[in-house]
């Protein structure tokens, strides 16, 4: 048996280089681009929306009738033309009702002895605080003691007034992360199964959120069933959009869903600041974005009984319809790709068979 000669490997070839090879940088670049996108997107979205919140045209009522009240209201408008939108309200009772139903954000009433600032922290703690800060100096200038009348306070178990907002955040994260898992697991299933699994998961995610917010932490003080149904519709919209986008975007589905339902959704929802304290870009998105729709409807059910929320429900339904449409589109694209692949295999097999016969 002849011996095999082993060729020694040069020492320079055995030692790793000081500088990684070009293939490393290519692989590293393809992997790090998504985390960098998320870091930049989070910074731009959150700082852009929240770093310099300023009141803009907060509707405030001055209680009183006649020329004196009109002049006083116009004077306040002139002093803070961008911050306040001041109008007169005939009576204290009417002012309280308008603040309670959200027609105005705050009201200011005076008599010869004291001043009263009427507000509602349940509607928006940030807006109520901003209105109070703007109205307090007026009372000080008039040398009047001030009473704050909170006509619709936040519940005792939700002192920040942001419990519904945090519930929305939890459902958003649960929704888009579920979408990635569902898209991967149901990739080979029919379109009906994708929709059915998405719907079942939406119900489970929303039920978890409602149970935690309601019986566990008592953030929900009524209408839990209606809020749960809206939560399921909201989560279903997120999941179906994710399931529809995943076959088309692949690994970019996660950052795109984070952009849609965290970066833009959380910042435009009105949970931290209302629309009249947001920059114009985020305030504009808030008019049709899904998180704002759910939060507005949930607040109406929780704090404003009897106030209609049909437009908010319509917005949620339109997002869900968009998700169903995306699932349909991605299904058709998948079928087309499979058909193209089958045609290519058939053509290759035919060519090989023809070549074999000719040989």
User: How far is the C-alpha of 287 from the C-alpha of 292, rounded, in Å?
Assistant: 7
Nearest one of 46, 54, 61 to 266, comparing CA atoms: 46
User: Any bridge partners for residue 118, and if so which?
Assistant: 107, 149
As a whole number, mean pLDDT of residues 93-110 equals 91
CATH 2.40.30 fits 58-150, yes or no: no
Note whether 155 and 218 are within 8 A (CB): yes
Which of 72-81, 160-169, 276-285, 322-331 shows the lowest per-residue confidence on average (mean pLDDT)? 72-81
What is the reported pLDDT for 6? 59
What is the reported pLDDT for 124? 84
Task: Give the residue carrying structure tokens 């509607």.
Answer: 123
pLDDT above 90 covers a percentage of the chain that reads 53
Residues 6+ apart with CB under 8 A from 3: none
**pLDDT: is 255 or 12 the higher one?**
255
Strands 106-110 and 115-119: antiparallel
Q: At residue 47, does pLDDT exceed 90?
A: yes
What is the reported pLDDT for 113? 87
pTM for the model stands at: 0.85
Q: At residue 4, does pLDDT exceed 90?
A: no
User: Any bridge partners for residue 107, and if so which?
Assistant: 61, 118
Q: At residue 221, does pLDDT exceed 90?
A: no
What is the reported pLDDT for 327? 95
As a whole number, mean pLDDT of residues 176-197 equals 92
Count of H-run helices and E-run strands, the chain: 13, 5
What is the reported pLDDT for 101? 86
Q: At residue 13, does pLDDT exceed 70?
A: no
What is the domain partition of the chain in residue ranges? 58-150, 163-342
Q: Which 3-state string (H, E, C) describes 93-135?
A: HHHHHHHHCCCCCEEEEECCCCEEEEECCCCCHHHHHHHHHHH
Q: What is the pLDDT of residues 257-314, one digit of tens each?
A: 999 999 999 999 999 998 889 999 999 999 999 999 999 999 988 887 667 778 999 9
Q: What is the pLDDT of residues 118-147, one digit of tens each?
A: 999 988 888 888 889 989 988 888 888 999
Q: At residue 232, does pLDDT exceed 90?
A: yes
**Mean pLDDT, the chain, integer:** 88
- 343 confidence band (pLDDT: 50, 70, 90): low
């Amino acid at each position: 048996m002849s011996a095999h000669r082993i060729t020694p490997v040069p020492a320079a070839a055995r030692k790793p280089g000081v500088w990684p090879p070009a293939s490393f940088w290519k692989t590293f670049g393809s992997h790090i681009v998504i985390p960098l996108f998320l870091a930049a997107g989070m910074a731009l979205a959150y700082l852009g929306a929240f770093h310099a919140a300023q009141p803009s045209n907060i509707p405030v009522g001055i209680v009183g009738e006649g020329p004196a009240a009109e002049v006083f209201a116009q004077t306040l408008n002139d002093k803070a033309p961008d911050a306040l939108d001041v109008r007169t309200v005939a009576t204290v009772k009417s002012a309280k009702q308008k603040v309670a139903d959200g027609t105005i954000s705050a009201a200011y009433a005076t008599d010869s002895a004291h001043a009263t600032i009427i507000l509602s922290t349940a509607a928006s703690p940030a807006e109520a605080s901003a209105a109070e800060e703007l109205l307090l100096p007026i009372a000080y200038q008039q040398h009047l003691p001030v009473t704050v009348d909170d006509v619709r306070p936040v519940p005792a178990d939700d002192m920040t007034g942001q419990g519904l907002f945090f519930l929305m955040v939890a459902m958003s994260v649960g929704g888009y992360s579920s979408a990635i898992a569902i898209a991967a697991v149901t990739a080979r299933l029919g379109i009906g199964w994708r929709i059915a699994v998405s719907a079942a998961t939406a119900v489970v995610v929303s039920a978890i959120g409602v149970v935690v917010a309601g019986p566990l932490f008592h953030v929900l003080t009524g209408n839990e069933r209606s809020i749960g149904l809206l939560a399921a519709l909201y989560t279903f919209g997120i999941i179906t959009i994710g399931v529809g986008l995943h076959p088309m975007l692949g690994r970019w589905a996660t950052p795109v869903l984070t952009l849609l339902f965290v970066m833009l959704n959380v910042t435009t929802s009105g949970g931290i600041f209302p629309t009249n304290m947001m920059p114009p870009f985020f305030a504009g998105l808030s008019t049709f974005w899904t998180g704002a729709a759910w939060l507005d409807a949930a607040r109406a059910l929780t704090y404003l009984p009897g106030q209609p929320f049909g437009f908010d429900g319509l917005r949620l339904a339109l997002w869900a319809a968009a998700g169903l449409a995306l699932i349909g589109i991605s299904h058709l694209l998948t079928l087309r790709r499979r058909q193209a692949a089958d045609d290519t295999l058939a053509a290759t097999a035919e060519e090989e068979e023809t070549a074999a016969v000719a040989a």
